[in-house]
Structure 1
């Protein structure tokens, strides 16, 4: 099974109001492990950069002015070819897909019809009432945010972080998976998950009292939840 975890940066929230993509980042995952293959491109939005958007990703109109437009084969078509038939994974996927599909249509390219997984929805189901931003999930799972805290948002960095979050959300890294090609993509370190990993000590509970209370409220609003019948 092949997955592509991706993220975008934009000039705003709605492409039909004149906002455009300015960055796309993506990483490839096969059989539950990152392969090291990545896609990354800056995009000339052919417009100004609102200050609010600049404060998030620090990409200025001047910096982007000599970058290719989405219709250039190195951007839109290249992203479509990288994605191919993979399952797409994004955080708040409707936002990213809205921009991708709009830009594809504007460039005269076929829209994507891939299966799409939204990690935001998964996180909200798993942790009802808790913060579900990428930062919050990284903190929950103990994923290092040093680079993000230093350099801010970036589509490729956020895709890599989201890949780690997705692995945790779906049960953790599978034993024995080698992260092929990691030398090039992850600073020369080859990452291998040892077979049958065993924790040195039980992992401490991550739920706060507020989260436990929110979960109890969530259960109370359900009609005859199965686990209540089992526990009682």
Structure 2
């Protein structure tokens, strides 16, 4: 497990599933994990994806094009986001998905890739599969297994999912 002075739980929401097909970020949520395991500073931003949101994605997170079109574009928020996460190790559930979208967005604004800004990534999906082999490993399943109150989460949301991920990460890292 990487060690560093700073851990940040991160989640994103998107217009669909495939950045290589033009799907875009619509929300980024980050929560610092303090050395005592408590949540610290947070960063949350809705983003104008400059394209419609797929019906399937809208069912997951509830965001429509109408709700997002007045938000800033990724180019407008990239600097603030990168400043928040710079030098941290990111804790992400299903990191391949989120990092894929973040790297695609960074490429559109010629800002390199996530590896240029972060010390590393801890994928809690992979960690859960290692520590709990054969058991469900979705964020919902882990919240249920660890008795984490997710009642405030009626739909997926980048910030609330990051807050839940702080708790999931703390409990996963305590397992043998």
TM class by smaller structure:
over 0.9
Q: Which runs of 5 or more residues in structure 1 are unaligned?
A: 173-232
What is the aligned counterpart of 1:160 among 163, 168, 176? 163
- Structure 2 matches for 1:124-203, cutoff 5 A? 124-148=129-153, 151-171=154-174
Distance 1:49 1:139 in 2: 29
Inter-partner Cα distance in structure 1 for 2:39 and 2:52 = 36
Q: Unaligned 5+ residue runs, structure 2?
A: none
TM-score (norm 1): 0.70
TM-score (norm 2): 0.92
Q: 1:152 deviation in Å? A: 1.2
Q: Give the RMSD, CA atoms, in angstroms.
A: 1.1
The CA deviation at 1:107 is: 1.1
Greater Cα radius of gyration, structure 1 or 2? 1
User: What does 1:22-33 align with in structure 2 at a 5 Å threshold?
Assistant: 22-33=26-37
Instruction: Tell me if the contact between 1:10 and 1:22 (Cα under 8 Å) persists in the aligned partners.
Output: yes
Distance in 2 separating the partners of 1:3 and 1:36: 10
**Conservation of the 8 A alpha-carbon contact between 1:26 and 1:156:** yes
Q: How many Å separate the matches in 1 of 2:108 and 2:19?
A: 11
Structure 1 residues 117 and 21, CA gap change in structure 2 (3 angstroms): same
Deviations along 1:81-137, one digit per CA (max 9) or x if unpaired, are 000100011000010000001101111213222200000000001111111000100
Q: Which has the higher contact order (CA 8 A, sep 6+)?
A: 2
Structural mapping, 1:27-176, within 5 Å: 27-72=31-76, 75-113=77-115, 114=118, 115-148=120-153, 151-171=154-174
**Structure 1 CA distance for aligned equivalents of residues 53 and 60 of structure 2:** 11
Please list every run of at least 4 consecutive aligned residues from structure 1 whose deviation after the TM superposition is greater than 3 angstroms. none
Structure-1 separation of matches of 2:36 and 2:158: 21
Shift of 1:32: 4.0
